[in-house]
Amino acid sequence: MSTALVILAAGKGTRMESDLPKVLHKIAGAPMLVHAMMAGATLEPEHTVIVAGHGAEAVSAAARAHDEHVSVVLQTEQLGTAHAVAQTRDALEGFDGDVIVLFGDTPFISPDTLARMSEARKNHDVVVLGFTARDPGRYGRLVTEGDNLLRIVEFKEASAQEKAITLCNSGVMAVARDVLFELIDAVGNDNVAREYYLTDIVGIARARGLSATAVTCDEAETLGVNSRTDLAAAEATFQARMRAEALAAGITLQAPETVYFAYDTVIGRDSEIEPNVVFGPGVTVESGATIRAFSHLEGCHVSEGAIVGPYARLRPGAELGAYVHVGNFVEVKNAILHEGVKANHLTYIGDAEIGEKTNVGAGTITCNYDGVFKHRTVIGARAFIGSSTMLVAPVTIGDGAMTGSGSVITEDVPAGALAIGRGKQVNKPGLARKLFEMLRARKARQAETDK
């Protein structure tokens, strides 16, 4: 059975107190909407349609950045979840299969749960995902009879008896496309909120002799985000899951609760992650690498056996070859460090390529930015960059070359050459002693006058 994914994301999310549309708030480095898209993608949908409203332009851009094939439809007025789904009618014209409705602010539905919903669709016309809530709060309630779902009652409409039901509506539904739109056509807004409730389609389906059922999942999956507090809780849940997965995959985490992953972090077996490491999006760490404490990595690739940190920062485009060492207070951006390069202390390497086994001395800086343009630094293999060298890009250092400590290198250095670019040293015999005497005498005079 082919599926189409509809993700509702038009709501404002008032309780977020934000200028950013709710679904663009991030969890583990990816907007909630993208998490929902990733969850739905496991069904290999034929179409993905996102219903945008508040901040539609930004929502659309974020959705397309993740998957250029999505369609985005506009719901200019938020008249309710049924009205939102109705906006996808044209986009799904001619599609013949199941529509799965997800909410953009419910990012953690698991692939297994979605698969079970698809399975349940074989025996029922409408399948709703429910969960038993510890605190049912304002969720819609599922009224069931055995395996059958009779109707969904919104909290605002529920009687005291219905409010006592703990089986709640997650919002996720699976219905065949043509059935879905027929049912939605029959939804009215004669209710407390004057909204078109998608949840009403269950009762309507039953009245028409169609069948409905609820598939259930763990509450953690249906976690909806409505406030910054919910967002923080969702982040914590996601991080806990990522840490458990990392440990199970053979990665050592000395203090798992202090390591923060991004949604797409990839780490090889037998890597070791020390405490307080943060992974931004787009990081791959290969087997047997060590990321030492207090390092921050994003958009980078760390090869096997490399050692990063403590206190290192790898920014987008950092490519570390095998057995590279990047030490404390070293920042690498858009730079390839080939096998065995060492840059162990207090260094900035940006827009650069460094050949294998080159040693970069403490305090070295690639001066890549002239205030307007960025320029590249290319360093050959087995070179030795003296401490505190300023490499004023564009500049090329040949294989096996050396730079003297404290040099400002503005011209290319041929292979095998030693470049020294600094003021020549002058020694003034005895002058330090004289200066000290003079200064100490001045201090003594001051102490006298201050008495």
Nearer to ligand UD1, 75 or 295 (CB): 75
The single residue of 35, 66, 69, 345 carrying the catalytic annotation is 345
State yes or no: residue 139 binds ligand UD1 (CB under 6 A): yes
> In terms of C-beta density within 10 A (0-12 exposed, 13-18 middle, 19 or more buried), how is residue 422 classed?
middle
* Residue 323 interacting entry, from ligand UD1, Mg ion, none, C-beta within 5 to 8 Å by type: none
Q: Let me know if 345 is a catalytic residue.
A: yes
State the binding partner of 104 from Mg ion, ligand UD1, none, CB within 5 to 8 A by kind. ligand UD1
259 binds, among Mg ion, ligand UD1, none (CB under 5 to 8 A by kind): none
Contact with ligand UD1 (CB under 6 A) among 4, 6, 10, 289: 10
| Of 112-120, 165-173, 326-334, 401-409: span binding ligand UD1 (CB under 6 A) | 165-173
Instruction: Please report which helix (H) or strand (E) contains residue 215, including its range.
Output: strand 212-216
- Picked from Mg ion, ligand UD1, none, the partner binding residue 199 (CB below 5 to 8 A depending on kind) is ligand UD1
Contact assessment for residue 13 and residue 105, using Cβ atoms and an 8 Å cutoff: yes
Distance of alpha carbon 160 from its chain centroid, rounded?
A: 42
Q: What is the CA radius of gyration of the chain?
A: 31
Please report, as residue ranges, which positions from 81 to 120 form the binding site for ligand UD1 (by CB under 6 A). Answer: 81, 83-84, 103-106
Residue 8 φ/ψ, nearest 5 degrees = -85, 125
Two structure tokens written together for 425: 């040293």
Q: Out of 5, 24, 39, 198, which residue is the one contacting ligand UD1 (CB under 6 A)?
A: 198
Least CB distance from residue 236 to ligand UD1, whole Å?
19
Instruction: Tell which residue, 198, 40, 220, 191, has the closest CA to residue 126.
Output: 198
Among 168, 187, 253, 379, binds ligand UD1 (CB under 6 A): 168
Q: Is the CB of residue 13 less than 8 Å from the CB of residue 21?
A: yes
Separation CA 422–CA 55 (nearest Å): 55
CB of 385 to ligand UD1, least distance (A): 53
Name the binder of 302 from Mg ion, ligand UD1, none, CB < 5-8 A by kind. none
Taking CB under 6 A as the criterion, the residue among 29, 31, 80, 327 binding ligand UD1 is: 80
Q: Which is nearer to Mg ion, 23 or 278 (CB)?
A: 23
119-123: Cβ within 8 A, 24+ apart: 120/174, 120/213, 120/215, 121/1, 121/174, 121/175, 121/176, 123/211, 123/213
Q: Return d(Cα 289, Cα 315) in angstroms, integer.
A: 17
Q: Nearest CA to 169 among 121, 217, 209?
A: 217
3-state SS record for 290-347: EECCCCEECCCEECCCCEECCCEEECCCEEECCCCEEEEEEEEEEEEECCCCEEEEEE
By CB under 5 A, what part of segment 218-247 binds Mg ion?
A: 224
Which pairs with CB-CB distance under 8 Å and at least 24 residues apart come from 439-443?
none
- Give first-to-last CA distance, the chain, whole Å: 95
With CB under 5 A as the contact rule, which of the stretches 130-138, 217-225, 281-289, 378-386 interacts with Mg ion? 217-225
CB of 304 to ligand UD1, least distance (A): 42
Binding mask 37-76 for ligand UD1 (x = CB under 6 A): --------------x-x---------------------x-
Q: Which does 39 bind (CB under 5 to 8 A by kind): ligand UD1, Mg ion, none?
A: none
Q: Which stretch binds ligand UD1 (CB under 6 A): 37-45, 66-74, 80-88, 437-445?
A: 80-88
**H-helix or E-strand containing 391?**
strand 390-392
Facing residues of 281 across strands? none
203 binds ligand UD1 (CB under 6 A): no
Instruction: Provide the total of helices (H) and of strands (E) in the chain, helices listed first.
Output: 10, 33
Site string for ligand UD1, 209-238 (x = CB under 6 A): ---------------x--------------
Interface pick for ligand UD1 out of 3, 4, 5, 11 (rule CB under 6 A): 11
Crossing angle for the helix pair 111-120 and 32-41, nearest 10 degrees? 50
| Residues that bind Mg ion in the complex, under the rule CB under 5 A | 224
Site for ligand UD1, rule CB under 6 A: 8-11, 51, 53, 75, 78-81, 83-84, 103-106, 139-140, 152, 154, 168-171, 197-199, 224
Residues taking part in catalysis:
345
